[in-house]
């Protein structure tokens, strides 16, 4: 005998926690009066290696049900079983027989009940007017002999009969105690089990039936899962979430609908899910729960490459735009500080960009924005400057302004020579350069001219009176004419120059001082060369026959070479030259006429020298002396030598 292999799995089954090979009559709930109802006979939990060669099933059903027909179940159809039949007899009883039929050549079945499935489908018509108080019409297994409700092994050496039989009250199954008397719904009696018969008690049988309901007023009960939290699917801003919401009802067929449905793509965040259970009568129940999808992916901030630009025209910086992006599984934003479109000052500025999504995930990146100062500063020199020298100076301290501008602050203006310098007489080029902190520079140049407007000062000596040189009709006269000026290199020109032989008499001398730029000053003085003429008669003593006495006519009456003026023969005061030796009014008149009029020169100069001054000739003092003598009792003139 081929051994039947058992296997067990844990399921919840009407109070019994056990499952093995079983044949079930379906229990249909909530059939309407007059409804055509299909009940399925199924094979459950066949163990691995189970091979079924045929079966003989016997059922009885409530007389209120009207049998219609039965047909092969899908399991037999799929396995290509060729023999299936049923008979209906009083009782009422329905007998269903099927054989795998392995003896007809190539037309062998492809399987032998080694998987669960439908063995047969029975169709009944529910009564239009159910018996009063009766809402469940049973369909049960029944045994009249040991061959009923048996399953044959493939090789025919074993029949498998009932182990346990479970009755059904329309809502739950419960085990029925074994009975040994035919007919029975309690399973094959023990008398069917003999050592020689090849019968094994190995199969559970479950009764079924049809529940008739006129009106369903009971709401189904829908059961939602607890709130669910999922992580986002990789690279997606959400996740496909599956869940199960169930419903229980007094009648089968309640359908559960959830919105959003299980298997839907849920966005990151919390999405409320509402489930509704609706039965065939339209009764409904709802429940709700939350599906939360947590975004665990950080965005990726993508900064633009480092940027280098020149300054905007006239600006100490530039408005710089750039594009930084973010990649993420969800919508994210990127913020940069300083932002694109900001005015960036000259130099390098570090920009930090932050990428963030709604879940608080973030990333940062940085770039550098460098603004180069490419603008050259502008310098404006003044026009050429012309000034006069400072008083007494061979130049001038000159201040000047240099105008410069730039797009940036901090420019340095330098001039060489700088403003406030002492500029010498002449033209000095001034070179000016302006530079900014970035090294950009501009230059300009102008000329600073200091004119010498100060004249030199020449200092002539006082008039010079010298006697003639001995033996010369004149004298060599040397003198110094100094000159001063604000600048050196002044030259002095004198005409006639110092060291010249000046003739007797007065010679006008002109001196001119000229500086390097032509400024000039002049002065004048006289050089007077006088004869060596003690008696003042205009004759040098070496050519005067009377050098000590005034004798311009060189009278020499006696021809002795000695002028008459050298002999005082009379008395002093005898001016008119009469032979009288006395002094009178005539002498006074003659002296006045000589001194103040056009009178003749006294014939004897010594006698006209009334007061007797040595080398003197007649003058006012002599006039005064003679007046004092004649009218004031003055002393007489001194005697002649």
Q: Residues 62, 160: one domain?
A: yes
Q: Residues 159, 193: one domain?
A: yes
In terms of Cα–Cα distance, which of 557, 548, 542 is closest to 606? 548
What is the tens place of the pLDDT at every residue in 527-555?
999 887 766 777 776 677 776 667 777 77
Q: What is the dihedral of CA 407, 408, 412, 415, to 10 degrees?
A: 10
How is residue 563 written in tokens? Answer: 């002028």
Distance set, CA 111 to CA 54, 78, 79, 330, 640 (Å)? 12, 8, 5, 52, 204
What is the predicted pLDDT for the residue at 16? 37
Residue range of the domain that includes 351: 300-372
What is the predicted pLDDT for the residue at 560? 62
pLDDT at 566 over 90: no
Q: Residues 51, 124: one domain?
A: yes
Q: How far apart are CA 620 and CA 421, in angstroms?
A: 69
In terms of Cα–Cα distance, which of 62, 74, 57 is closest to 28? 62
Q: Residues 109, 85: one domain?
A: yes
What is the predicted pLDDT for the residue at 2? 31
What value does the mean pLDDT take over residues 592-609? 75
Q: How far apart are CA 291 and CA 373, in angstroms?
A: 58
Q: Residues 346, 392: one domain?
A: no
23 or 4, higher pLDDT: 23
pLDDT at 567 over 70: no
Distance set, CA 33 to CA 130, 354, 587 (Å)? 7, 71, 206
How is residue 339 written in tokens? Answer: 């932002």
Instruction: Lowest mean pLDDT of 101-105, 176-180, 343-347, name the range.
Output: 101-105
Q: Residues 60, 180: one domain?
A: yes
**581 falls within a domain:** no
Instruction: Lowest mean pLDDT of 39-53, 100-114, 269-283, 558-572, name the range.
Output: 558-572
What value does the mean pLDDT take over residues 280-297? 93
What is the predicted pLDDT for the residue at 8? 27
Q: Residues 101, 192: one domain?
A: yes
pLDDT at 571 over 90: no
In terms of Cα–Cα distance, which of 53, 24, 58 is closest to 205? 24
474 or 177, higher pLDDT: 474
Helices then strands, counting H and E runs in the chain, come out as: 4, 46
pLDDT at 468 over 80: yes
Q: Residues 406, 357: one domain?
A: no
Q: Residues 308, 204: one domain?
A: no
Which residues are within 8 A (CB) of 573 and not within 5 positions of it... i.e. 6 or more apart?
583, 587, 607, 610, 625, 626, 629, 636, 637
What is the predicted pLDDT for the residue at 558? 65
**541 falls within a domain:** no
How is residue 605 written in tokens? Answer: 């100069």
Q: Which of 16-30, 173-187, 448-462, 560-574 has the highest mean pLDDT?
A: 448-462
pLDDT-derived band at 348 (thresholds 50, 70, 90) equals very high
Q: How far apart are CA 325 and CA 300, in angstroms?
A: 8
- Residue finishing a domain among 212, 241, 262: 212
Q: Residues 358, 400: one domain?
A: no
**145 falls within a domain:** yes
Following DSSP, what letter does each residue of 577-630 receive, concatenated?
--S--S--HHHHHHHHHHHHSSPPPPS-HHHH-TT--TT--S-HHHHHHHHHHH
Bridging pattern class, strands 307-310 and 412-416: unpaired
What is the predicted pLDDT for the residue at 3? 31
What value does the mean pLDDT take over residues 597-619? 74
What is the predicted pLDDT for the residue at 595? 82
In terms of Cα–Cα distance, which of 23, 27, 290, 16 is closest to 139? 27
What is the predicted pLDDT for the residue at 624? 87
What is the predicted pLDDT for the residue at 564? 67
- Residue finishing a domain among 190, 212, 234: 212
Q: Residues 193, 333: one domain?
A: no
Count of structural domains, the chain: 5
Q: How far apart are CA 444 and CA 465, in angstroms?
A: 63
Q: Residues 464, 404: one domain?
A: no
Q: How far apart are CA 169 and CA 27, in angstroms?
A: 9
* Cut 0.85: pTM above it: no
What value does the mean pLDDT take over residues 6-33? 61
**540 falls within a domain:** no
SS3 444: strand
Mean pLDDT in the chain? 88
Q: How far apart are CA 616 and CA 636, in angstroms?
A: 18
What value does the mean pLDDT take over residues 51-78? 94
Helix, strand and coil in the chain, % to nearest 5: 5, 45, 50
**Residue 587 carries which DSSP code?**
H
Q: How far apart are CA 121 and CA 25, in angstroms?
A: 10
How is residue 512 written in tokens? Answer: 């001119």
Following DSSP, what letter does each residue of 155-198 receive, concatenated?
TSS-EEEEEEEEEE-SS-EEEE----SSSBSS-S-GGG--TTTT
Q: How far apart are CA 252 and CA 279, in angstroms?
A: 8
Q: How far apart are CA 189 and CA 183, in angstroms?
A: 10
Q: How far apart are CA 141 and CA 126, in angstroms?
A: 19
What percentage of the chain has pLDDT greater than the value 70?
90
Bridging pattern class, strands 93-99 and 150-153: unpaired
pLDDT at 219 over 50: yes
What value does the mean pLDDT take over residues 602-625? 77
Bridging pattern class, strands 159-168 and 199-206: parallel
Scored b (16 or more CB within 10 A) or e, 348-376 reads ebebebbbbbebebebebebebebebebe
Q: What CATH number has the domain bearing residue 269?
A: 2.60.40.10
What is the predicted pLDDT for the residue at 168? 95
pLDDT-derived band at 582 (thresholds 50, 70, 90) equals confident
Q: Which of 463-467, 584-588, 607-611 has the highest mean pLDDT?
A: 463-467
pLDDT-derived band at 1 (thresholds 50, 70, 90) equals very low
Bridging pattern class, strands 520-530 and 464-467: parallel
pLDDT at 328 over 70: yes
pLDDT-derived band at 171 (thresholds 50, 70, 90) equals confident
Q: How far apart are CA 312 and CA 68, in angstroms?
A: 97
What is the predicted pLDDT for the residue at 230? 94
What is the predicted pLDDT for the residue at 306? 96
pLDDT-derived band at 12 (thresholds 50, 70, 90) equals very low
- Residue finishing a domain among 390, 421, 451: 451
Which residues are within 8 A (CB) of 431 and not within 5 positions of it... i.e. 6 or more apart?
415, 416, 443, 445
What is the predicted pLDDT for the residue at 565? 66
What is the tens place of the pLDDT at every residue in 372-415?
999 999 999 999 999 999 999 999 999 999 999 999 999 999 99
What is the predicted pLDDT for the residue at 579? 60
């Amino acid at each position: 005998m081929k051994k039947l292999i058992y296997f067990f799995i844990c399921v919840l089954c009407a109070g019994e926690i056990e499952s093995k090979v079983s044949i079930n009559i379906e229990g249909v709930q909530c059939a309407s009066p007059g409804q055509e109802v299909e009940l399925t006979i199924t094979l459950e939990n066949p163990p691995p290696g189970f091979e079924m060669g045929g079966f003989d099933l016997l059922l009885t059903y409530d007389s209120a049900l009207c049998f219609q027909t039965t047909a092969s179940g899908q399991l037999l159809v799929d396995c290509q079983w060729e023999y299936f039949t049923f008979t209906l007899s009083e009782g009422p009883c329905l007998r269903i027989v099927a054989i795998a039929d392995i003896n007809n050549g190539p037309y062998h079945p492809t399987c032998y009940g080694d998987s669960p499935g439908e063995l047969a489908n029975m169709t009944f018509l529910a009564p239009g007017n159910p018996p009063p108080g009766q809402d469940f019409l049973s369909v049960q297994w029944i045994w009249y002999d040991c061959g009923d409700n048996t399953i044959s092994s493939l090789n025919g050496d074993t029949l498998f009969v009932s182990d346990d039989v479970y009755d059904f009250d329309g809502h739950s199954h419960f085990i029925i105690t074994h009975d040994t008397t035919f007919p029975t719904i309690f399973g094959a009696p023990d008398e069917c089990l003999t050592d020689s018969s090849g019968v094994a008690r190995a199969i559970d049988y479950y009764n079924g039936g049809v529940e008739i309901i006129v009106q369903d007023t009971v709401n189904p009960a829908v059961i939602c899962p607890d709130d669910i939290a999922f992580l986002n699917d990789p690279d997606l801003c959400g996740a496909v979430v599956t869940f199960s919401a169930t419903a229980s009802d007094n009648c089968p067929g309640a359908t559960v609908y959830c919105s959003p449905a299980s298997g839907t793509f849920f966005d990151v965040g919390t999405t409320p899910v509402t489930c509704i259970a609706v039965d065939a009568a339209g009764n409904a129940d709802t429940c709700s729960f939350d599906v939360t999808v947590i975004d665990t992916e950080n965005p990726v901030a993508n900064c633009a490459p480092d940027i280098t630009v020149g300054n905007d025209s006239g600006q100490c910086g530039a408005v710089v735009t750039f594009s930084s992006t973010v990649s993420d599984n969800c919508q994210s934003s990127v913020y940069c500080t300083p932002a694109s479109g900001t005015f960036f000052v000259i130099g390098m500025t570090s920009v930090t960009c932050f990428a963030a999504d709604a879940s608080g995930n973030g990333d940062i990146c940085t770039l550098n924005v460098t603004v180069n100062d490419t603008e050259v500063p502008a310098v404006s020199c003044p026009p050429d400057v012309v000034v006069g020298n400072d008083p007494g100076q061979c130049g001038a301290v000159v201040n000047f302004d240099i105008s410069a501008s730039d797009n940036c602050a901090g420019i340095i203006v330098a001039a060489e020579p700088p403003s406030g310098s002492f500029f010498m007489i002449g033209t000095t080029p001034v070179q000016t350069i302006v530079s900014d902190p970035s090294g950009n520079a501009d230059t300009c140049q102008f000329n600073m001219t200091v004119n010498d407007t100060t004249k030199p000062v020449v200092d002539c000596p006082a008039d010079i009176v010298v006697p003639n040189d001995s033996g010369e009709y004149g004298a060599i006269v040397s003198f110094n004419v100094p000159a001063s000026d604000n600048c050196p290199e002044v030259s002095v020109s004198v005409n006639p120059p110092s060291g010249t032989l000046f003739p007797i008499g007065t010679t006008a001398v002109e001196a001119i001082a000229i500086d390097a730029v032509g400024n000039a000053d002049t002065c004048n003085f006289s050089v007077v060369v006088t004869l060596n003429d003690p008696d003042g008669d205009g004759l040098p003593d070496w050519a005067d026959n009377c050098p000590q006495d005034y004798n311009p006519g060189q009278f020499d009456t006696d021809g002795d070479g000695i002028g008459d003026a050298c002999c005082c023969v009379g008395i002093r005061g005898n001016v008119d030259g009469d032979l009288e030796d006395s002094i009178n009014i005539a002498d006074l008149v003659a002296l006045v006429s000589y001194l103040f009029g056009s009178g003749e020169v006294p014939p004897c100069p010594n006698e006209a020298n009334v007061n007797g001054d040595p080398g003197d000739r007649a003058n006012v003092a002599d006039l005064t002396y003679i007046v004092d003598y004649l009218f004031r009792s003055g002393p007489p003139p001194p005697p002649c030598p």
